[in-house]
Amino acid sequence: MPDTENPRNAHDQPDHGEESYVGSGRLTDRRAVITGGDSGIGRAIAIAFAREGADVLLSYLPEEQRDAETTADWIRKAGRTAVLVPGDITDETMCTGIVQRAVAELGGIDILVNNAAYQMAQEGGIADISTEQFDRVMRTNLYAMFWLCKAALPHLQAGSTIINTSSIQAYQPSPQLLDYATTKAGIVNFTKALGQELAERGIRVNAVAPGPIWTPLIPATMPTENVEKHGESTPLGRAGQPAELAPAYVFFASADSSYITAEVLGVTGGQPLS
């Protein structure tokens, strides 16, 4: 588990649990696919999964190769296999290829984490959201999740899990993130519907809904003044760290949550989801 007694200031480098996460064998020899696994929340999940005993395939954009290699190094330091698959998941063929690589190089899939997302704040709201941006957000956040789940399903056995990354934006949408918030709400309903469908097969589907988390996505997609205040409005008064999210994904991936499916777990610093 990560040490959160002294969480870093939001303006430091994100804490992915590199020096703090200690595993306990909860995912021994499981095979995981993580989209957006190069940095931020994805990196924290990958480190935690590896230290819990899982082999991990990382999906990421080609321009994030250096970050992905750093994450892979942490996986290998934990004694587990890392498979790197660069590419754009807004392409259905790419999503199918990710699943094929996992089957070929890991021997199958036990855990699918749909974590990759795209957001771009627009202070002018809907008037400033171009069709190009809207399409990219939808295809990255919703279409790719659909394609990956559909492709992975023939390879998932009873006991397998799917974990989707939603957001507090699904429940408390910001006008400047209208398109992003729309997809995150869609992920909640997708999770609940698919979880019910796959329950009889023993495959569980759940979602994690982060609040304000300090990741590379934040300064890249928000106005500077918003970045400075990121997370201050939460009851805990700060943004969370990726390392503080990873245990939620481990929980859903492991037998610790064997009687939980079609649920959403908020990791929001005290902000209510409803």
Q: What pLDDT score does 239 carry? A: 87
Count the helices and strands in the chain (H runs, E runs).
9, 7
Q: Are strands 55-60 and 161-165 parallel, antiparallel or unpaired?
A: unpaired
CB atoms within 10 A of CB 221: 17
Structure tokens at 237: 């008064």
Q: Compute the distance between CA of residue 100 and CA of residue 104 in angstroms, rounded to an integer.
A: 6
Average pLDDT per consecutive 10 residues, the chain (274 residues; last block may be shorter):
43 85 98 97 98 98 98 98 98 98 98 97 96 98 98 98 98 96 98 98 98 74 63 84 97 98 96 89
Cβ distance 173 to 181 under 8 Å? yes
May I ask the CATH class of domain 31-267? Answer: alpha beta
Q: Compute the distance between CA of residue 24 and CA of residue 205 in angstroms, rounded to an integer.
A: 23
Annotated catalytic residue within 118, 180, 249, 259 = 180
Cβ distance 254 to 260 under 8 Å? no
- The count of residues in the chain is 274
Q: What pLDDT score does 235 carry? A: 86
Question: Tokens 């729309």 belong to which residue?
Answer: 182
Specify which residues 188 forms β-bridges with: none
What phi and psi, each to the nearest 5 degrees, are found at residue 187?
A: -65, -35
Cα distance between the two ends of the chain: 28
Domain assignments of the chain as residue spans, ordered by start? 31-267
Is 180 among the catalytic positions?
yes
Q: Compute the distance between CA of residue 119 and CA of residue 114 in angstroms, rounded to an integer.
A: 15
Residue of 248, 239, 243 whose CA lies nearest to 266: 248
Q: Compute the distance between CA of residue 259 and CA of residue 240 in angstroms, rounded to an integer.
A: 27
- The one-letter amino acid at 105: E
Q: Compute the distance between CA of residue 265 and CA of residue 26 in angstroms, rounded to an integer.
A: 19
Q: What pLDDT score does 226 carry? A: 64
Structure tokens at 75: 């996986």
Q: What pLDDT score does 6 carry? A: 41
The pTM score is 0.92
